[in-house]
Amino acid sequence: MREYNFDGLVGPTHQYAGLSHGNLASTKHRGTLGNPRAAALQGLGKMQTLARLGVGQAVLPPQPRPLVGALRALGFAGTHAQVLVAAHQEAPELLLACSSASAMWAANAATVAPSTDTGDGRVHFTVANLSSMFHRSLEARQTEATLSAIFADESRFVVHPALPSGTHFSDEGAANHTRLLVPGVNALHLFGWGRRGFGNQANLPSRFPARQTLEASQAVARLHQLPQESILFWQQAPQGIDQGAFHTDVLAVGHNHFFLFHEQAFCEPEKLEAELQRRLSGQLVLRRVSEAELGVPEAVQSYLFNSQLVTLPAGGMAILVPEEVRANSQAEALLQQLLAEPNPLCSILDADVNASMKNGGGPACLRLRVVLSDQEVQSVRGRVFLDEALGLELTTFIGRRYRDQLALEDLRDPMFLLEVETLLDELTQILQLGSIYPFQR
């Protein structure tokens, strides 16, 4: 079994619309002029860094935006050109929301369970409904179509549609899910949740919304046929959410037998530690970071916990950190301290994903982790696994097709819509995925 990072390729409508309430970076950079080309090259550069090290790496294509169908559903009528112009004039915030490139943050695309963990021995995906944010809720249908095209072999893969939308089953995908694995011990799936959909609503954040519900996490675990001894549901700390930790992965990161988390990531962290060790026979390497070592504001600003932990082919783990960690003295000091401590970390890798960071997404936000066997890899459709040839072709493609500047006014131009559709059509040919978009049918 090998873990592959399926990264979302940044889309051609990448911008800074400040759409995500509770995401401090997103709000801070609202209105900044976008550079889709630079953003896409940064994301691809991160993928290439890991692929060259021998880490499993794959690509997920962007979603079509502006999403004219969503605007039509909201009452705008006429030709594509008339819909875009009317939305720009009457409700520019809706045009921005329906043009968001937020599907680049593939950690929110779905929750995944490998075939070794599931009851029927197949890899299970449950598409996230992302119902807490309008612009992200628009992603689910295309995410299902894309994953169904790539993981089309039903003898090996199951792609579940998103849970029913609404407040009760609000699901944010793998950003609130961590799979821990100790050799010789069953895997443990840790589901973080922020509120209950039903019943007692006590112990909630007061400043920002808690997005993930317990009921959504429980439904995903059932769909994936995970045994009870392999699942653990634990509430996110409301004080962490109120300081900008809108997802679990903003204050916690885990990989195999190593779990790094901030003391304000979860409620009752001492009890969580004890339960994790009990479930994993005391063999989990746990590292809880205190507020004194790194305050939550610094953790959120630097996104240290939204770094990627990866296993290196030669052994040991590397942590891929955004440049913002290096620029934060407290976060950098903690990083060096972690490297010196007895844990699986053996090296630090740097990633420039500043365009993503400005919208509140670090390296870990950009990828969906999928553990596959060799046979399952052979069953994956399309040319999605990144190698030198594909990396070079995508680099050339981005340089040729993506704009280096994008403003709100560009989104109302029907020629830009045609430009995006032409771009995505060519990309699906490069990735050999066939007609996965509605405009291709």
* d(C-alpha 242, C-alpha 195), whole Å: 13
Q: Do residues 194 and 245 make contact, with C-beta atoms less than 8 angstroms apart?
A: no
DSSP assignment of 198-235 equals SS---S--SSS----BHHHHHHHHHHTT--GGGEEEEE
Strands 231-235 and 367-372: unpaired
Encoded amino acid at 113, one letter? A
The helix-helix angle for 80-90 and 414-430 (nearest 10°) equals: 120
In the residue annotation, 172 being an active-site residue is answered as yes
Q: Do residues 259 and 310 make contact, with C-beta atoms less than 8 angstroms apart?
A: no
Q: Which residues contact 202 (CB under 8 A, 6 or more apart)?
A: none
Q: What is the H or E stretch that residue 333 is in?
A: helix 329-340
* d(C-alpha 227, C-alpha 279), whole Å: 13
In the residue annotation, 160 being an active-site residue is answered as no
Q: Which of 394, 434, 373 is nearest to 148 (CA)?
A: 434
Which of 14, 135, 144, 172 is labelled catalytic? 172
Q: Do residues 212 and 174 make contact, with C-beta atoms less than 8 angstroms apart?
A: no
Which of 224, 257, 365, 376 is labelled catalytic? 365
In the residue annotation, 189 being an active-site residue is answered as no
Q: Which residues contact 415 (CB under 8 A, 6 or more apart)?
A: none
Which of 224, 247, 257, 262 is labelled catalytic? 247
Q: For residue 374, with 0-12 CB atoms within 10 Å meaning exposed, 13-18 middle and 19 or more buried, which class applies?
A: exposed
Q: Tokens 């003295």, residue?
A: 329
Q: Is the dihedral of CA 395, 20, 201, 168 positive or negative?
A: negative
In 240-294, the DSSP E strands lie at 252-255, 258-262, 285-289
* d(C-alpha 79, C-alpha 261), whole Å: 50
Encoded amino acid at 232, one letter? L
Q: For residue 178, with 0-12 CB atoms within 10 Å meaning exposed, 13-18 middle and 19 or more buried, which class applies?
A: buried
Catalytically active residues, by annotation: 172, 247, 365
